[in-house]
Amino acid sequence: MQFSFTFKSSPFKTLIAFHKIIKSFEDMALSEVDFRATYAKALLEEINKYPALISGIENAAELPSYEPIIKVLLADLFPIALTRNEIKAITIPFYVYTFNHTERLEHILQAAGDQYDFNFRDVTADSYYILNCCMIISQYYGVKVDAMDTPLFLDIPDKDNIMHHYRVLFNADFMDIIPTEQAVPLSPEDITELIDNFSDIALWKSKFPEQSWILKGFSIMTLFDATTENAVSSFKSNLLRADDDKAVQLEEIQDIFRSIYKINDLRIGLTSFEKVKEEFNLRIVEKQLYSHLLYDSTIAECEEMLCSETLESLLTREELLVVPDIDQLPTVDPKKTFFINKLKQQKVKSFIFAPLIQDNKVLGILEMSSTRVRALNSVNANKLNFILPFIKDKVAKAFSEIENQIEAIIQKEYTSIHPSVKWRFQEEAIHYLNDRAFGKDYTLQEIVFEHVYPLYGQIDVQGSSESRNQTIKQDLVNQATDLIALFIAINQQHSLPLFEQKVFDLQRNLDTLDHSLSTDTEQVILDHFNLDVHPILDNFRKNNKNSAVVAAIDAYFDRVNPAIGGFYEARQDYDNSITLINKKLVTVLDEKQTEAQDYFPHYYERYKTDGIEHNMYIGASIAPDKNFDLYYLKNLRLWQLQVMCEMEAQFRVLQPTLPHQLEVTSLILVFATPISIRFKMDEKQFDIDGSYNVRYEIAKKRIDKAKIKGSTERITQKGKLVIVYSHAYEETEYLGYINLLQHKGLLDADIEKFEVEDLQGLIGLKALRVGFTVQHKR
């Protein structure tokens, strides 16, 4: 067969020849050094038996017969002392046929397997042709072409299928480039035109027709293992790439890590860190990310996952956690035991956890694991020094992009800065822009509103947690009951012991549901349905299409919500009821709030939970262009009471139409002492300013669950409004408001007065409780 190049099309006709190195031996034979001359003469005498070594070998099939003499001829270029270290072979540049391998190259190719073919990375048929032409321009015409300096790489897998990357260098000292009669002579203008049109393959082929030149001689190909450097470069490129297929990108990154560490089962994970709640979580940065720490969950408190010593080491001192052998870890600490068991469930034997901290902000933890003991250790952990900076930049950028997206949604869907205080933000922005226009540095000042009076109220769904659990239980009971009926019907037609077993198991599920619903009961039962029961039903209806039970099975699956793998009927009624309640209450509150702003501008915000909470702050600092007086505060307090009555009334109208019957309780917290609120730039919201004022925040969070002092009765009750206060003058003020609303028929005549139980940080609170009128409820 004729010699073939990497691609079929080439400007060269190839002759493997050794005339140049033979010429060097002819010169050596004339040497005055006797032993060298004697050696050269003896070798030349042997070489003369093979004239094709000088004239050139055109047929590749002939090469094996010349192998012994070629090895002797090239002995000085391939010294035995270096054969186990150097990665070398004889070839022609960009040529697929290689021979006379060093021992190390031979081992590399054997490990790659018979399926491996030499293919230069990123070399196409066109670029291959042009590179050959550039070699002619460079060596025959003596014009340097930068394309010849382009690095070439071979990617060769080892026996564990870990990819190694080799830089390829060619020594062309033993080659001649000879034009044939078909060769097109090139002028300097032709060469300039070619260099200016590097990608024009038609132009190159017109100047260098196929096989119009002879490539005679041989080249020494030397490979250098550049796996780590190449992998780091590929890693950086991968991180910079905007790839829609994140799963593919993550898989490529994991393969790069495997190349760097030479560990074929290396697994990469990333767990992000939420500072506010001190939680590990899988943020929506990359939903495909794997997390060793979380494994079977998406969020967990840091102190639940790791002991304080480990957290301190990782997140404060920024130290790597390197464990070469997980079985050698101490298991005295329960948290360590929990953590170790979680990793063992993932078959982890050695691992490295690296904190990702940038600009003193904890981003998360990079995780690497292997199923082999000591595959990861304190020595190869140092390789992370090359990679971590790029990962930190990527993760920080990803987090920033997500936060910006969230902020954009908030800006679009909600009012992040209430109109009553927007003037202050505009004022600060003007200062910043003016100073910047004059080349001055300006630091944005903190925005604080001092001496404002807070008002807080809430309408809360009573017993929401219990109601939610009850609906979950109801759906599970209904689903288990339907499944029992299905398996009884199936067993009547096709009696099998397995079907009786399923009925028994499902009945045990029902027995479990007779008791209170624990945190994991729902998931355990749903897993049983989805993993153990549903496959049997699926198989039955596929193999018994004419059975009367199939229609019932189809009807059952129609009721199964694919998102949870279970019935979502009672729970959907509950969720829809919460949504309807919140929507109705928010509509009333927002509409009435617009009117209240006309009395005197004040800051207002509300939150949807299982019910509605609202905060208001009023004072001179919020509207400095107006004259504030305490009667505006009293007016807003009375307005708040009336709106609470209106929201209760609207709820009573809505209640009969709710798919799931719920009750609500109403509460107002009175805080007569003015406070300060500060806009936190990092959180983009107002918060209470000052340690004394924190008492108000504590009261808001704890008061709705409080009981009457000396009693087990909650202070909140359905159909009644509770007003919590501290001072006698507040009681007098609010009794006046209550009397007015009683006169208007909004509140009942009976008023309860009692003390509130002592709470942590809150002592001496009192309360008024009064019912909404029956007529008003109707």
Query: What residues form DSSP beta bridges with 668?
Result: 457, 723
Give the pLDDT band (50/70/90) at residue 777: very low
The two beta strands, 350-358 and 321-323, are: antiparallel
Q: What is the pLDDT of residue 657?
A: 93
The phi-psi region of residue 691 (left if phi > 0; otherwise alpha if psi is between -120 and 50; otherwise beta) is alpha
Range name among 131-135, 302-306, 531-535, 638-642 with the lowest pLDDT average = 302-306
pLDDT value of residue 403: 57
Contacts of residue 342, Cβ cutoff 8 Å, sequence gap at least 6:
292, 293, 295
pLDDT in the model for residue 778: 43
CA 155/CA 163 separation, integer angstroms: 6
Q: How confident is the model at residue 288 (pLDDT cuts 50, 70, 90)?
A: low
Give the pLDDT band (50/70/90) at residue 415: very low
Each residue's pLDDT tens digit, 271-282? 877 664 465 666
Query: Across residues 381-397, what is the average pLDDT?
Result: 81
What pLDDT sits at residue 239? 60
Residue among 1, 50, 3 at smallest CA distance from 22: 50
Q: Cα 765 to the chain's mean position, in Å? A: 47
Distance (Å, rounded) from C-alpha 547 to C-alpha 537? 12
Average pLDDT over residues 666-690: 76
Quickly tell me which residue has 């009012």 as its tokens. 415
Burial class, 262, CB count within 10 angstroms (exposed 0-12 / middle 13-18 / buried 19+) = middle
DSSP 758: P
- d(CA 320, CA 376) in angstroms, rounded, equals 12
- Tell me how far apart the alpha carbons of residues 327 and 340 are, in angstroms, rounded to a whole number: 9
How is the chain split among helix, strand and coil, in percent rounded to 5?
50, 20, 30
Where residue 494 falls (left for φ over 0; alpha for ψ -120 to 50; beta otherwise) is beta
Give residue 282's pLDDT.
Answer: 62
pLDDT at 12 over 70: yes
pLDDT of residue 388: 83
Structural domain boundaries in the chain: 12-17+56-224, 230-406, 415-445, 464-568, 573-777
Please say whether the beta carbons of 400 and 406 come within 8 A.
Answer: no
What is the structure's pLDDT at 276?
45
Q: How far is CA 562 from CA 278, 475, 526, 557, 571, in A?
A: 33, 14, 12, 9, 15
Supply the pLDDT for residue 443: 64
Q: Is the pLDDT of residue 340 over 50?
A: yes
How many Å from the N-terminal Cα to the C-terminal Cα in the chain?
100
The yes or no reply on domain 230-406 and CATH 3.30.590.10 is no
Does residue 673 have a pLDDT over 80? yes
* pLDDT, tens digit, 9 for 90 and up, residues 485-536: 998 988 888 888 888 888 898 888 888 888 777 768 888 888 889 999 899 8
Give the mean pLDDT of 300-313: 78
If we measure between CA atoms, which residue out of 389, 387, 362 comes closest to residue 268?
Answer: 387
Sign (positive or negative) of CA dihedral 177, 178, 184, 185 = positive
* Look-up of token digits 């920024």: 318
> What is the model's pLDDT at position 247?
60
Q: Residue 674: which residues within 8 A CB-CB, separation 6 or more? A: 451, 452, 453, 619
pLDDT, one tens digit per residue, over 343-379 is 888 999 999 999 988 888 888 888 999 999 999 998 8
In this prediction, residues 96-120 reach a mean pLDDT of 84
Phi, psi of 571 (to 5 degrees): -65, -40
Asked if 290 and 268 count as a contact pair (C-beta separation under 8 A), the reply is: yes
User: Is 458 exposed, middle or buried, given 0-12, 13-18 or 19+ CB atoms closer than 10 A?
Assistant: buried
Residue with token string 């927007």: 422
pLDDT(154) > 70: yes
Q: Which of these, 92, 105, 101, lies nearest to 171 by C-alpha position? A: 92
Q: What b/e sequence results for 308-322 when a residue is b if at least 16 CB atoms lie within 10 Å of its CB, and e otherwise? A: eebbebbbeeeebbb
pLDDT for res 277: 47
User: What is residue 151's predicted lDDT score, i.e. its pLDDT?
Assistant: 78
**Tokens 């990310």 sit on residue:** 289
pLDDT in tens, 78-104: 998 998 999 999 987 766 678 889 999
User: 630-654 and 570-599 are packed helices; what angle lies between their axes, rounded to 10 degrees?
Assistant: 150
Place of tokens 């009435």: 592
Lowest mean pLDDT among 46-50, 552-556, 706-710, 761-765: 761-765
Query: With contact defined as beta carbons under 8 Å apart, do 726 and 666 qualify?
Result: no
For residue 110, count other CB atoms closer than 10 A to its CB: 11
Mean pLDDT calculated for residue range 640-663: 93
Q: What is the pLDDT of residue 274?
A: 66
To the question of pTM greater than 0.95 for the whole model, the response is no
CA distances for 169 relative to 10, 90, 166, 223, angstroms: 20, 12, 10, 6
pLDDT tens-digit profile of 556-572? 999 999 888 899 999 99
Beta strands (DSSP E) in 415-492 are 448-461
Judge whether 686 and 680 are in contact, CB under 8 Å. yes
Tell which wins on pLDDT, 458 or 315: 458
- pLDDT, residue 577, reads 92
Q: Mean pLDDT score of the chain, rounded to an integer?
A: 83
Q: Which of 405-419, 658-672, 694-708 is most confident?
A: 658-672
Closest by Cα among 22, 16, 117 to 59: 16
Please spell the DSSP secondary structure of 256-299, one letter per residue. Answer: HHHHHHT-TT-EEEEEEEETTTTEEE--TT-TT---TTTTT-SE
Q: Are 442 and 430 in contact (CB under 8 A)?
A: no
pLDDT reported for residue 370: 93
Q: Please, which pLDDT band fits residue 741 given cuts at 50, 70 and 90?
A: very high
Pull the structure tokens for residue 36. Answer: 């060298």
Q: Which residue has the higher pLDDT, 488 or 394?
A: 488
**In the Cβ-directed half-sphere of 446, how many Cα atoms lie within 13 Å?**
14
For residue 617, the one-letter residue type is Y
Tokens for 416?
A: 């992040």
Whether 303 shows a pLDDT value over 90: the answer reads: no
Token couple for 301:
């408190």
Residue 411 binned pLDDT confidence (cut-offs 50, 70, 90): very low
Question: What's the confidence (pLDDT) of residue 624?
Answer: 81
What is the C-alpha separation between 449 and 424, in angstroms, rounded? 10
Report the pLDDT averaged over residues 563-587.
91
Q: Do the bridges between strand 219-225 and strand 213-217 make them parallel or antiparallel, or are there none, so unpaired?
A: unpaired
Report residue 239 CA to chain centroid gap.
13
d(CA 202, CA 350) in angstroms, rounded, equals: 56
